Structure 1
């Protein structure tokens, strides 16, 4: 009996303590603890921290997940007013990083016995947070690192859920010239909504979004619905889908639609280097993870349009060191050649204006002066295979099966190989541009084989029976930050052959070769002439193309070309020397001068010089050695006879000079 009374008194005492302790703690003025709390937080963060308002303790029922006697134990509910956390000294946004007028949270007291701070019901009311990046890559949300010699803290923070009421988060990045503010609020049903506004460089930023209620930050497998819209300048992103594990976003699965005036405009906010393009629109599925130690995104099976071209494929973004990597494959079934003009700045002024490009092409220049964006190339590595199955252009030139792999590696851009079929032949090239150097350094190798003349210019109906082929070799190196600058500094060689074919004024006009039309009209008039062979060999030094060999063999005449083409000034300085074969008559036997610019060429007759004093045989003799080198470009079969080979055979024949009297007579007639 005595023992029972003692046990009863003990139980009553314990219950009394359990009741009195919370009551006692509730009536205590907890403001006395503010200096101690502020000091501990300051030590942990390395920043000034203060609680300017009251610190209040009350009691709440435990979470519904608790069972047994644990459900009888009340949990402390803490409320603090007017909290302030300071900025690092380098910050330019002011001395304060965060202000929170009111913070509420509930603490699990039993978890403290396991050295775990378990917080639930964390509510931040009207928080005002400023996130700032410094010019040297630092940020204000990374706090003081612990001394490596100190043992790790045995205490763990367990944040169960979070609610933001009318919160504001401002992001400032002086490097990207970004100042963006996001306003976040939690609705009555627990869902989160936000609105974004601000500036990114010179572009206006706006957007909004909504996410499902975060029932618990600990639920790693629950999919939360999310939808968002972001507009930066003239680019718009619309996403709708789900995310998993909101603390780390370990799984993202959204349908993403992107539209804009140019893909290059996505770089400022995505960090992904893309080329200048006409207006575009793409849509596809984005899956991946935004976790810090496993950040990767995959844009799966996207489709869309770029200008008048269709586009589709899969791209993957991986966060790696020292640079992120973009890899994948892009395919266009119908690629408009006009849409590729924006890549090199050769599109029209109207198209440039549409995509916000303020580059103005000089009215007297043909080669694009638009600058490469090489300063972006070292921000990301890339390996993307591009295929254009059918190339469309207004003149209907048959180009197909364009295949290239675009690579970016530490600022160096390469397209290798760059292959496509054209008019029954093949065009193969390799292009490398080192954007790390100033100005950029470029190298290019080009080979073209078996391009059929009659298929190359189908509008020239007179050429349909032609069997002529084009063969070209070129090797060039240059430095510059635009196509015009590269051409102006180019060094190397360009060699080419055209075997057989038909030419006339009307055919060349159908090709769009107006300069050639002027020359042919001067020499042959309006009639159609059979082309046996055309051979050209140019040396290129500092942007100056020098004609080492340029000869045209037709059924009526042999035509030699001398002079140079200045790629820097875009000027022509060529002299065309026609010589009739035998008794055949051509319209002009005096030299032609091709002058002027690429934009406005000028063809004139030199009436003061007698036509081709030495005759066709002498002209061929001087060309024998360079022509022999050019013949390596073509390799006819054993049963094929090449007109170019016949031209070389004629060139190897020993020249025969006409009688002196006859020569003098010819000269006198030519002067008259």
Structure 2
């Protein structure tokens, strides 16, 4: 017994807990599948036993040996265990957990390989232990001193440090958790300072957990203040979230929600979480010179995430919404570099179509922009699996409306399969002309435009497209003021001069029914009628070459004798076409040019009634043009055989074929003008 007592005394005198270090290193390395080592192990036994590990190092896994820092390390980790509480069956209690100088090096490569995914077996056993029903230990004081975790995530273009420490209680509080950020996130510099309640408060659902943080990522500034009742489940939130910056599209790395480019903005709202969705509610602020507000709900559990936004503005400048249609917000198109194309050939930029599924509604009460003759805006939009469905985009303008629907589906080579339809109803002409500071009148515009195509700009969509336009202008006011503004001062004035329309003539009606086939606009009907004249046209507009080839003729409406020229030929580049007027052509050729111009069909009357109302001058003009043609010959009278210069109707052909089949071709018109201007 004496010898045994002496041996026990000697063992106590020479005992070192470090004898267990190799065993711990071996077991930990096997469990984590990467080298683990501790320098020293200290144990202070008692009813509350304290265990301290010094010099903990967890090395990088295979494939990350080139990293200069360990995967994880700590100068010391101290844990106190209440042994008596555990032995009496009251459960596991940890009165103290203290971590000194923890370090981490979290790395993810561009190919998706990372150093923080552990072996599947280890994950499975950890999950099983979490779901086995074992109660969580009761935690006491938690301390983190001088923590520094590096995050290097290649796909997010991020390399930043997360600095963590806890502050001791003061002024009666429970202490604070403090997190600082520095480095680069999404290629932009990032700084942040977040102060929360005590670390233990994260698991305490009986007391609201305070949060006060600010974050700057490049030029984007974010603040978050308030409390969360249950921070582990982010429920019972009372948080004010504020965003400010030069462009909302820069929020994508922070929020995961794709937003088009916007002008500078500042918005503040309430952040909440309920029914599996993160909600940014009742936010208000400004975007450019427009006010903006509404609710945004994000369901991050769907793949891709689902975003539902209901937005509104009391006063909106449409230039601020340019990013939503692929333009730069607030940009002045006059400052764009000159293009050789007539239509805009800038690529439509719809960013990150596949990043989220979106349902968006937006209403602007008042449009504030002198360049847009519009009163308000209302729209509904869906993005699903990369395809855009514009359910409606409606503008009110005076007594009329402009409404459009569209669909864009991604195709190859950044192209879009596109469908588009626009309806114009009872649009006051005075609103358009007033916006240009050129004209005031009581005319009304109506009609529709359709397009089905594939392309990536307005120019390519039109040149590849099929569809057409049917537009009606009723009681348009002074023609000499209207046409130069619609066609351009130079061309409009030249056309008026060539047609011989008397000055200050009042436009009674303008009808254009123009089908688009494979990028070439044809003419079903073209009618311009004043009080004394009726002008009709035929020809084509080629958007592949940006050229036009058109023949126009003017005739008297009434019995009065007017000195009117013959057909006018407009051809060449659309930006600078040639207008070739001349004296009246002789004989049947003149009749063919004059009467071969297509009369507006009576089938257009329903469109006219919808667009500008019943009983309009255009409705009357079409009926009169069909029943009482200007030259006294109905279109059907010109379908018989004629001279060689007029296309001949084959024997047995349908005698009711439209006169449009007997137009002079542009080539024949040019030949006739050449012969007239160069007589032998």
Judged with a 3 Å threshold, the aligned counterparts in structure 2 of structure 1 residues 278 and 483 are, in CA distance, closer, same or farther, namely: farther
* Separation of aligned partners in 2, 1:111 and 1:259: 52
Report whether the alignment pairs 1:50 with 2:36.
yes
Structure 1 stretch displaced more, 626-635 or 426-435: 626-635
Q: Is the 8 A contact 1:500 1:530 kept in 2?
A: yes
1:74 alignment partner, one of 29, 44, 47: 47
Structure 2 unaligned runs (5+)? 1-7, 170-174, 629-633, 644-671
* Separation of aligned partners in 2, 1:308 and 1:77: 63
Judged with a 3 Å threshold, the aligned counterparts in structure 2 of structure 1 residues 256 and 157 are, in CA distance, closer, same or farther, namely: same
Give per-residue Cα distances to partners, 1:552-574, cap 9 Å, x unaligned: 222343333444444456x2424
Counterpart of 1:34 in 2: which secondary structure?
helix
Structure 1 stretch displaced more, 134-143 or 526-535: 134-143
TM-score by length of 1: 0.79
Q: Which residue of 2 aligns with 1:417?
A: 392
Q: Which residue of 2 aligns with 1:333?
A: 314
Q: Which residue of 2 aligns with 1:316?
A: 297
Counterpart of 2:366 in 1: which secondary structure?
strand
* Separation of aligned partners in 2, 1:383 and 1:270: 17
The equivalences for 1:4-403 within 5 A come to 28-44=15-31, 46-58=32-44, 74-89=47-62, 94=67, 96-110=70-84, 112=86, 118-135=93-110, 140-146=115-121, 152-153=128-129, 157-158=136-137, 160=139, 162-189=142-169, 190-288=175-273, 295-347=276-328, 363-365=339-341, 367-374=343-350, 376-395=352-371, 397-400=373-376, 402-403=377-378
Judged with a 3 Å threshold, the aligned counterparts in structure 2 of structure 1 residues 121 and 545 are, in CA distance, closer, same or farther, namely: farther
Cα distance, 1:377 vs. partner? 1.5
* Separation of aligned partners in 2, 1:93 and 1:272: 35
Q: Is the 8 A contact 1:346 1:367 kept in 2?
A: no
Judged with a 3 Å threshold, the aligned counterparts in structure 2 of structure 1 residues 420 and 607 are, in CA distance, closer, same or farther, namely: closer
Report whether the alignment pairs 1:518 with 2:499.
no
Cα distance, 1:24 vs. partner? 9.2
Q: Is the 8 A contact 2:280 2:295 kept in 1?
A: yes
Counterpart of 1:264 in 2: which secondary structure?
helix
Q: Is the 8 A contact 2:77 2:97 kept in 1?
A: yes
1:441 alignment partner, one of 413, 417, 420: 417
Structure 1 unaligned runs (5+)? 1-20, 60-72, 353-358, 661-665
Q: CA RMSD in A?
A: 4.0
Q: Is the 8 A contact 2:260 2:351 kept in 1?
A: no
TM-score by length of 2: 0.78
Judged with a 3 Å threshold, the aligned counterparts in structure 2 of structure 1 residues 323 and 591 are, in CA distance, closer, same or farther, namely: same
* Separation of aligned partners in 1, 2:216 and 2:463: 40
* Separation of aligned partners in 2, 1:207 and 1:520: 65
Cα distance, 1:134 vs. partner? 5.0
Judged with a 3 Å threshold, the aligned counterparts in structure 2 of structure 1 residues 101 and 671 are, in CA distance, closer, same or farther, namely: same
2:550 alignment partner, one of 575, 578, 585: 575
Judged with a 3 Å threshold, the aligned counterparts in structure 2 of structure 1 residues 338 and 369 are, in CA distance, closer, same or farther, namely: same
* Separation of aligned partners in 2, 1:478 and 1:460: 31
Judged with a 3 Å threshold, the aligned counterparts in structure 2 of structure 1 residues 52 and 517 are, in CA distance, closer, same or farther, namely: same
Counterpart of 1:392 in 2: which secondary structure?
coil
Cα distance, 1:125 vs. partner? 1.8
The equivalences for 1:578-597 within 5 A come to 578-581=553-556, 585=562, 591-593=568-570, 595-596=572-573
Cα distance, 1:278 vs. partner? 1.6
* Separation of aligned partners in 1, 2:53 and 2:332: 58
The equivalences for 1:628-639 within 5 A come to 628-635=602-609
Cα distance, 1:265 vs. partner? 1.7
Q: Which residue of 1 aligns with 2:456?
A: 481
* Separation of aligned partners in 2, 1:105 and 1:568: 77
Judged with a 3 Å threshold, the aligned counterparts in structure 2 of structure 1 residues 539 and 116 are, in CA distance, closer, same or farther, namely: farther
Q: Which residue of 2 aligns with 1:8?
A: none
The aligned length equals 615
Cα distance, 1:326 vs. partner? 0.9
